[in-house]
């Protein structure tokens, strides 16, 4: 299978929350590949318990089904890697390397998370970028992780990128690569309606996210805005 756009999502929902609007405007076929799509093990995390699950196996199964519905709404393909949903820094993520090695070409638009607000996102980002550096002339896009990035008060304004540049994950990446501003979207009514439908497919996550981020589904609101950087050597 060949895709014009590949979005690397650390967990189920990260890609949709962060770049559903960009995906809706894409040209050609696209895929969301979830790096940590497997069951976490025997122990149920506090977050999964808040989402109403009773076992790690149920969590992985139901979240995969939610992700499939979201991908169907956006008209993109779904690829789920079986790495357990545990701290990603301790995982080799060899299957992510294999996927990107096979499918990323100089003509592919590849989006990876910046890692704002979540250490797992940073680990997945670094593993993906290590692989993508081997693809000559490919310049990955790095997306602002939502809802975490919306914590800066400038979110949704032209100053958002500058405000986020002070965050450790962005600073760390800027020390290794040349970052320049990429697409910045403020979704209109039609774009928001589509993104909202895709976001609501992750039904198990909505209540806990609202506890942490308040009215994150409001319109206008944080998910209406999307921000991307372009990465160069």
- Assessment of whether the complete model's pTM goes beyond 0.85: yes
Using alpha carbons, list the distances in angstroms from residue 201 to 62, 70, 103, 133: 11, 5, 27, 34
pLDDT at 191: 96
Of residues 153, 151, 139, 168, the one with CA closest to residue 229: 139
pLDDT at 89: 85
**Residue 142 pairs with which residues in a beta bridge?**
112, 229
* CATH architecture of the domain formed by 5-232: 3-Layer(aba) Sandwich (3.40)
Q: Which residues contact 190 (CB under 8 A, 6 or more apart)?
A: none
Domain boundaries along the sequence of the chain? 5-232
Confidence of residue 177 (pLDDT cuts 50, 70, 90): very high
Confidence of residue 128 (pLDDT cuts 50, 70, 90): very high
pLDDT at 47: 86
Confidence of residue 45 (pLDDT cuts 50, 70, 90): confident
Confidence of residue 156 (pLDDT cuts 50, 70, 90): very high
The answer, yes or no, to whether residue 169 has pLDDT greater than 80, is yes
pLDDT at 1: 72
The answer, yes or no, to whether residue 42 has pLDDT greater than 80, is no
- Residue 179 corresponds to which tokens in the numbers above? 């970052």
Report the C-alpha gap between 111 and 5 in whole angstroms: 8
Q: Are 199 and 217 in contact (CB under 8 A)?
A: yes
The fraction of the chain above a pLDDT of 90, given in percent, is 80
Burial of 146 (0-12, 13-18, 19+ CB in 10 A): buried
Confidence of residue 56 (pLDDT cuts 50, 70, 90): confident
The answer, yes or no, to whether residue 145 has pLDDT greater than 90, is yes
Write out pLDDT tens, residues 60-97. 999 999 999 999 999 999 999 999 988 888 889 999 99
The answer, yes or no, to whether residue 212 has pLDDT greater than 80, is yes
């Amino acid at each position: 299978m060949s895709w014009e756009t590949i979005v690397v999502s650390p967990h189920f929902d990260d890609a949709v929350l962060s770049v559903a609007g960009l995906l809706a405007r894409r040209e050609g076929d696209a895929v969301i590949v979830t790096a940590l799509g497997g069951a976490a093990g025997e122990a149920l995390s506090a977050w999964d318990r808040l989402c109403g699950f009773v076992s790690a196996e149920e969590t992985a199964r139901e979240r995969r089904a939610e992700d499939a519905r979201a991908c169907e709404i956006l008209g993109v393909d779904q690829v789920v890697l079986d790495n357990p949903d545990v701290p990603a820094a301790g995982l080799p993520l060899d299957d992510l390397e294999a996927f990107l090695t096979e499918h990323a070409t100089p003509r592919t638009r590849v989006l990876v998370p910046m890692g704002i607000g979540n250490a797992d996102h940073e680990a997945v980002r670094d593993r993906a970028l290590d692989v993508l550096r081997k693809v000559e002339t490919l310049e990955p896009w790095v997306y602002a992780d939502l809802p975490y990035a919306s914590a800066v008060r400038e979110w949704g304004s032209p100053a958002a990128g500058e405000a986020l540049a002070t965050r450790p994950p962005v600073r760390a990446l800027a020390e290794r690569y040349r970052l320049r501003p990429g697409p910045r979207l403020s979704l209109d009514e039609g774009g928001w309606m589509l993104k909202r439908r895709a976001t609501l497919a992750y039904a198990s996550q909505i209540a806990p996210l609202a506890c942490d981020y308040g009215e994150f589904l409001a319109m206008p609101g944080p998910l209406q805005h999307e921000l991307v950087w372009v990465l160069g050597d």
